[in-house]
Amino acid sequence: MDLPSAAPLPEIEPAQAAEVMIGFIRSQMEQTGFSRLVIGLSGGVDSATVAFLAARAIGPENLLAVRMPYRTSSEASQTDALRVVTALGCQTELIDITPMVDPMLAVMEEGEGAELNVRRGNVMARQRMIVLYDRSAQFDALVVGTSNKTESLLGYGTLHGDMAAALAPIGDLYKTQLRAVARELGVPDEVVAKPPSADLWPGQTDEGELGRSYESLDRALFALVDRRWTVDRCVAAGLERDLVEWVASRVARMEFKRQLPPVAKLSLRTPGIDHLYPRRRPGSRR
Amino acid sequence: MEYRIALAQTAPRLGDIDANLSVASDAVRRAAVEGAALTVLPELALTGYLLQDLVPDVAMRADDPRLRALANDAPGMLVAAGFVEETDDHRYCNSAVLVRDGEVIGIHRKVYLPTYGLFDEGRYTRPGDRIRTHDAGAPVGRIGLSVCEDFWHASLPMLQALDGASLLVNLAAGPSRAPGGSAGLAAIAGWHKMQDTYALLGTVPIAFCNRVGNEEGLTFWGGSRLIAADGSTVVQAPLWEEALVFGSIDTDDLRIQRYGLPLLADERLELVRRELDRIIRERAGIDGAEWPE
């Protein structure tokens, strides 16, 4: 299908964007007082890109890439993750989450089909978070996040799972922009070119699960979010109404995943309402 | 007469006044070695930008000895720097100070506080209510100070030019709105275009000093510049990186420029005031003007 040029993909200057993200990571390290990062490396393009950015920012010796397959994870993902580790020369560790996840799955008797798949996927994502935060304490590091803007806006991630992180270098980068940045950084072609997958069950792909291509999702998101277009204007520009309405509704429904929970205000100064500080200030550096 | 200006494109540390004072005095010392008559530091150079509720913690009075000491390492040099000012009646302002030899020559309180998009300044600081120029004597003459967003309102630099400014000095903390792509570069080009235009229309040189570095998720873009009264670029600092750049202004150029292009002298101030008065009355619905229109 010819996608409309009137509703374009978001553009990116890969080299410039990479420099900004590298500067951001360095500044976060400096401001927090940490010098190391730990990342969950899946073999996909998102975590590979963040690993490359992190290695450029702080040196590969200060990056610990943790590979955390479940027994159903694909072999190809593990091969690709190793490719990234080899290309970077960073530290790495392999931790099979199967013996941690299976006892939990065994007590999840109710539910079936897609819903059960999502629940199982959430357990895996949260187990990986537990491993990463443990390793971050052991390695004296911050957990660097790998969520991109497309996922974040669509809420396609597990709260307190893969979304848990101390900093989010690619959180303002759409999936289609990310590939250009990955190529610029030298992420191996095999990793950049393959279909994106959360790899939570065999044969799963993001685009299969979301039911839309990243290209059409990003066109709709860019129009709705960055350009503040109405649904009607998106449709007039040639985007399919079903797609745009689905995206708009999903962005609204998933708002809760992008914010801290609301606090019931009782006092004169309430965190998040009228007790507002930058995360890092004198005294907050460890 | 020619004089040199130093633009100190620093990366202030958020909330850390001591560290920022040390960076400022280092820049002033290096500028003194290069014979600068004026050193310009960015907006909120002494405090950092995204202060939120840190504002009262880092605020200083205009007569704070730390401000007066800014130029102590460089006798005779003018130093302009941004800080959070607490006024006598406890207004907290985003201010620029101009000091020399331990004396405060002028203060400008940011008039336009952006509170939209990625900006939230109006929540934490209060706007200034004066647009003035300050006589710094030879060779620089009268200086019109402003802070960042002030420059997006053409009336402010034009008033300062009409008030006799022989140099406009804008201190900025400009975070890039889209540093990942061409939209961000276009915004930077817009800033530079606007400065060129003011220099040309005001027949006045402009010193623009913008910070760099990161705060939270923001990246500040730098690109500090000195622009001559004919709108040409004298010197430009790099984008994104810390820098100390120097450029010269020749006051004889200004004489010749203003003879050849007497825009300021030709300005119809009475006419402008009459029309402004009318617009103000009409907007407010005074004197029988229709409302709403």
Long-range pairs of B122-128 with CB within 8 A, sequence gap ≥ 24: B124/B51, B124/B52, B124/B53, B124/B55, B124/B92, B125/B55, B125/B84, B125/B92, B125/B93, B125/B94, B126/B91, B126/B92, B126/B93, B127/B93, B128/B93, B128/B95
Report chain B residues whose CB lies below 8 A from the CB of A280: 14, 216
Catalytic, out of B85, B86, B121, B148:
B148
Domain locations in chain A as residue ranges: 14-210, 212-262
What token pair was written down for A183? 């190529």
pLDDT for the residue numbered A1: 46
Going from N- to C-terminal start, the domains of chain B cover 2-261, 266-293
* For chain B, percent of residues with pLDDT exceeding 90: 91
The answer to whether A110 contacts chain B (CB < 8 Å) is no
Omega prior to B139 cis, within 30 of 0: yes
The predicted-structure confidence for B131-146, as pLDDT tens digits, reads as follows: 999 999 999 999 999 9
**B289 pLDDT more than 80:** no
A29 to chain B, minimum CA–CA distance in Å? 11
pLDDT for B189-200, tens place per residue? 999 999 999 999
Per-residue tens of pLDDT for chain A, all 286 residues: 455 568 999 999 999 999 999 999 999 999 999 999 999 999 999 999 999 999 999 999 999 999 999 999 999 999 999 999 999 999 999 999 999 999 999 998 776 777 888 899 999 999 999 999 999 999 999 999 999 999 999 999 999 999 999 999 999 999 999 999 999 999 999 999 988 888 877 778 888 888 899 999 999 999 999 999 999 999 999 999 999 999 999 999 999 999 999 999 999 999 999 999 998 888 888 7
CB within 8 A of B85, min separation 6: which ones?
B59, B60, B61, B62, B92, B93, B94, B95, B97, B107, B109
Superfamily of structural domain A14-210: HUPs (3.40.50.620)
3-class DSSP assignment, residue A55: helix
pLDDT tens-digit readout, B239-278: 999 999 999 999 999 889 999 999 999 999 999 999 999 9
Among partner residues B52, B180, B215, which is closest to A277 by beta-carbon distance? B52
In CATH terms, the fold of domain B2-261 is: Nitrilase/N-carbamoyl-D-aminoacid amidohydrolase (3.60.110)
Give the 3-state secondary structure of residue B76: coil
Nearest residue on chain B to A166, judged by CA atoms?
B216
The pLDDT of B22-26, averaged and rounded, is 97
Q: Do A27 and B217 touch (CB under 8 A)?
A: no
- Hey, is the C-beta of A172 within 8 angstroms of any chain B C-beta? yes
Contact B27, B46 (CB under 8 A): no
CB within 8 Å: A12 and B180:
yes
CA distance A69 to chain B (A): 31
